[in-house]
Amino acid sequence: MKTVAKLSIGLMAILTAHSTTVLAEEEVQDMSDPLAVYSQFGAGVTNKGLNLKYGQSYDTGNPNTFGMNVLELKGLGGEDLGWDNNAVKDNSLDSFRFRNFQVDMTNGRGSQLDISLGLDANALADESGSVSYSFIQALPKFGKLSLFPLAGVGAGIANNALEDDGTIDSGYSVQGTYYLVGMYSKYAITDKLWVNYNPFYLETLSGSDVYQNNAYGLGESSILTHEASVGYQVTPRFNVRYFSNWTENTSFEDGEHRIEFNYQF
């Protein structure tokens, strides 16, 4: 856990370093917009524990481009707070995720650096995660429907990873590469109520045989993931959202479910 603490402290330092350049006055942003950039704090109660999220917007130096860093901690207090009887739960942190997000307001194009690390062991490593970089493009609205296609590439990372010859690669290493394509979507039911559906397809490109053949589960070199949510804007700065995440190999019922509260500041 010392390594995790150092990583979390380092990521928080990045967040606070940018905060000194945030504009003194920020307009309230549309929190239902996948490309919206704003400072925020969120907490989610899930079937696998408590999730915490902190986001800090910052000045990129370009008047047409806005940036945001977001740090998420997932699965805290899973044994005491989670209600998933099909998962092995404990009260320690399950995973964390750091994202750097920028958007050009002149053309509706965004870019995202996404770093995540799962802290629970699996068949391939003691800890597994990924680093990816992707582009997002806002398309013209179709009535109440908004679409934001995404494409990117990434690398799988692991701690004490299993090698092709059955040995363990001690420490952190890069297992291989992958690509991802997908889409964020939003349908506005009313000004305050909306739904999202965000499918993503990931497939390995290179790396060890163990990684390429089992990156997304034993015998799985690719995966289609799903995320659906319903959000309600209680006030301009506060919303409540229900999320569900599942995959082609996991049923909706066995996926992750959470109720999330987000505040923009």
pLDDT tens digits, 66-103: 999 999 999 888 777 767 666 666 778 999 999 999 99
Q: Which domains does the chain have, with CATH numbers?
A: 2-264 (2.40.160.40)
**Cβ-defined contacts of 54-61 (< 8 Å, 24+):** 54/15, 56/15, 56/16, 56/18, 56/19, 56/22, 57/22, 57/26, 58/18, 58/19, 58/21, 58/22, 59/21, 59/22, 59/23, 60/102
- Spatial separation of the C-alpha atoms in residues 117 and 44, rounded to whole Å: 19
Cβ-count burial of 12 within 10 angstroms (0-12 exposed, 13-18 middle, 19+ buried)?
Answer: middle
- pTM (two decimals): 0.85
Instruction: Kindly tell me if the per-residue pLDDT of 16 is higher than 60.
Output: no
pLDDT reported for residue 24: 35
Identity of the amino acid at 3:
T
pLDDT reported for residue 80: 73
pLDDT reported for residue 88: 62
Query: Residue 265 contacts by C-beta under 8 Å, 6 or more apart in sequence?
Result: 39, 40, 41, 237
The Cβ-side half-sphere exposure at 212, using a 13 Å CA radius, reads 7
Classify 8 as helix, strand or coil.
Answer: helix
pLDDT reported for residue 254: 87
For range 239-259, the mean pLDDT = 94
pLDDT tens digits, 21-64: 343 345 899 999 999 999 999 999 998 889 999 999 999 999 99
pLDDT reported for residue 89: 65
pLDDT reported for residue 212: 97
Contact 56, 257 (CB under 8 A): no
Which of 17-26, 111-120, 139-148 has the least mean pLDDT? 17-26
Instruction: Kindly tell me if the per-residue pLDDT of 241 is higher than 90.
Output: yes
- The whole-chain average pLDDT of the chain stands at 89
